[in-house]
């Protein structure tokens, strides 16, 4: 498990699937704002590639987010669009309604940064999110991400076009912040990784980071 200050990132377990389906993927508003594809209902088939691990993929790693105290499922996180040649990737975060507004999103992003830069040796991370997603923007900024641009009317969600904000973070800038930087995992998290399993997504990965 990858451990942050308050949450851990582990492999996706079968028992996670019904909760994620019910509280994230069958939530039309959340899905429409977090994904770059139209919402569709998901049935009870646990093999749906949007939710399960499937076969390993070099471009995608799926995690379930759990609370370190008690181990309750708190959401999901992804490192997607992994480009081994250019050593870059994108971050996606989706928290259950009960886990929002508790600072978990900032911790999840911090742990994903550790995994990407230290474990995977990547050079650059990127986050795209709707311009009005204050929680995700705050989580990105607290972890040192720099706002690099805005794409106007680039995301269709819930009957309207929305602007998207692009954030980027380089490994050197992340390392210069040090382990005690706000939002970064504590030193107890270093090299604390296991069960990070990649998976394909036949319907496409998240293209926007969800609420944090």
CB 84 within 8 A of CB 210: no
Gap between the Cα atoms of 84 and 61, Å rounded:
13
pTM above 0.75, yes or no: yes
Closest CA to 144 of 114, 104, 100, 122: 114
The Cβ-side half-sphere exposure at 37, using a 13 Å CA radius, reads 11
Residue whose token pair is 């954030």: 167
CB 93 within 8 A of CB 80: no
Tens of pLDDT, residue by residue over 153-212, are 999 998 999 999 999 999 999 999 976 443 445 444 433 333 322 222 333 334 456 655
Query: What's the distance, CA 187 to chain centroid?
Result: 21
- Between strands 88-95 and 124-130, the pairing is parallel
pLDDT tens per residue, the chain (212 residues)?
999 999 999 999 989 989 998 898 888 888 888 887 888 877 766 456 666 666 678 899 999 999 999 999 999 999 999 999 999 999 999 999 999 999 999 999 999 999 999 999 999 999 999 999 999 999 999 999 999 999 999 999 989 999 999 999 999 999 999 764 434 454 444 333 333 222 223 333 344 566 55
Q: Count the Cβ atoms, other than its own, within 10 Å of residue 46.
A: 12
- Between strands 88-95 and 73-83, the pairing is antiparallel
pLDDT for res 161: 95
pLDDT for res 202: 31
3-state secondary structure of 106: helix
CB 163 within 8 A of CB 152: yes
The rounded mean pLDDT for the chain is 83
pLDDT for res 181: 40
Length of the chain: 212
Gap between the Cα atoms of 15 and 187, Å rounded:
31
Instruction: Please return the burial class of 208, using the count of CB atoms within 10 Å of its CB with bins 0-12, 13-18 and 19+.
Output: buried
């Amino acid at each position: 498990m990858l451990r942050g200050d308050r949450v851990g990132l582990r492999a996706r377990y079968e028992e996670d699937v019904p909760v994620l389906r019910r509280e994230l993927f069958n939530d039309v508003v959340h899905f429409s704002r977090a994904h770059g594809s139209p919402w569709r209902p998901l049935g009870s088939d646990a093999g749906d590639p949007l939710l399960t691990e499937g076969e390993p993929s070099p471009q995608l790693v799926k995690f379930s987010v759990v609370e370190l105290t008690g181990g309750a499922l708190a959401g999901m996180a992804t490192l997607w669009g992994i480009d081994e040649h250019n050593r870059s990737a994108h971050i996606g975060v989706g928290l259950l309604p009960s886990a929002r507004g508790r600072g978990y999103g900032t911790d999840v992003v911090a742990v994903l940064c550790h995994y990407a830069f230290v474990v995977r040796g990547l050079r650059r991370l990127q986050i795209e999110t709707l311009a009005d997603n204050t929680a995700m923007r705050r989580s990105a900024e607290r972890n040192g991400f720099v706002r690099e641009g805005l794409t106007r009317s680039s995301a269709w969600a819930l009957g309207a076009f929305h602007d998207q904000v692009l954030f980027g973070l380089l490994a050197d800038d992340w390392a210069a912040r040090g382990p005690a930087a706000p939002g970064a995992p504590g030193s107890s998290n270093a090299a604390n990784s296991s069960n990070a399993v990649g998976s394909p997504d036949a319907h496409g990965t998240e293209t926007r980071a969800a609420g944090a």
